[in-house]
Amino acid sequence: NEVIKPAVNGMLNIMRSCLKAKTVRRVVFTSSAGTVNIQEQARPVYDEECWSDVEFCRTKKMTGWVGGAVPLLIYCTSCYC
């Protein structure tokens, strides 16, 4: 996707630069509620294990889903950097 790939690659570049610098202790990544609450069924409580279902958003062709998907994919990518 023309929006998702550059965003994920940008975050990977930031994380790699932090590793290379060896002085960065913590990276704080903020996003919107769309990262956790776009699902077929709502949950009563949201925590760090809750993420929007990207495939659900794609199949339903939801408008604006990229706003939630991009932070989710960036976060997942940065966890394994």
d(CA 69, CA 35): 6
pLDDT value at residue 81: 47
Identify the residue with better confidence: 22 or 2: 22
17-67 pLDDT, tens per residue? 999 999 998 887 776 666 666 666 666 666 666 666 667 666 766 655 455
pLDDT value at residue 17: 93
pLDDT at 78 over 70: no
d(CA 46, CA 49): 8
Q: Which of 43, 40, 44, 42 is nearest to 59 (CA)?
A: 40
Indicate the domain borders of the chain. Answer: 1-29+50-81
